[in-house]
Amino acid sequence: MAKPFHLMVVTPEREFFSGEAVSVSVQSIAGTLGVMAGHVPMVSALDVGALVIQTDEHTKRTAFHSEGFIEVRPECVYILSQACEWPEEIDEKRALEAEQRAQERLAQERGDEPVSMGHSKVALMRAMTRRRIKSMSSG
């Protein structure tokens, strides 16, 4: 059994998770990143994606995380994200609406100069990831 380490997941609104974990995986801007105990100290920025926390050999939970960053320290791993939600906290209707809105915006902007295209894309990503995580847990 792998060695546990202390994990803190914090958003500006609340402390999302604090406790021992065996491994954690997040979506960083460089790709999916998994961390276990004894990882080299590092810092990376997070994209929108799935936060997978394994607390022991049999328990694994998936949650949604928004942009943020991860800091791996010798004694502790910090994940700070603008928003984190367990699947049961995700409002699927809201995510679906946001997805449609973002898609409409993207379709409109395609013709114009792509100034804020990045933001619509991120919004679309957020909505789609939320829905994906929701469906993963219910299905």
Partner 1 sequence: MANVSDIRYHIKSVKQTRQITNAMHMVSAARMRRALDGIAQNRSYFFHALDIIVDILNHTGDISHPYLRHRAGDKVAYIVVSGEKGLSGSYNHAVLTLADKLMAEKNVVEVYTIGSVGTSHFLRRGITPDRHFERLAEKPKLDQVRRLLTILIEQYDCGEIDELRIVYTRFINTLTREPMEQKLLPAELSDFKRGRAARPEDEVYDRSFILYDPSPKEVLNALIPQLLIGYVYGAIVHAYASENCSRMAAMDNATRSADKMIDKLTQQYHAVRQLTITNELADIIGAANAANAVRSADAAHHPEENHA
**Residue 78 binds partner 1 (CB under 8 A):** yes
CB-based contacts of 112-120 (< 8 A; 24+ apart in sequence)? none
Q: Site for partner 1 (CB under 8 A): which residue of 74, 91, 97, 114?
A: 74
Extract the tokens encoding 77. 């791993």
* For partner 1, the closer CB: 56 or 89: 89
**Residue 75 binds partner 1 (CB under 8 A):** yes
**Residue 28 binds partner 1 (CB under 8 A):** yes
**Residue 113 binds partner 1 (CB under 8 A):** no
**Residue 112 binds partner 1 (CB under 8 A):** no
- The region of 53-61, 80-88, 104-112, 127-135 touching partner 1 under the rule CB under 8 A is 80-88
**Residue 109 binds partner 1 (CB under 8 A):** no
Question: Judged by CB under 8 A, how many residues of this single chain contact partner 1?
Answer: 30
| Rounded least distance, CB 14 to partner 1, Å | 6
Angle subtended at Cα 57 by Cα 52 and Cα 62, rounded to the nearest 5 degrees: 15
Query: Which parts of this chain interact with partner 1 (CB under 8 A)?
Result: 10-15, 28-30, 33, 40-45, 67-69, 71, 73-75, 78, 80, 82-83, 115-116, 119
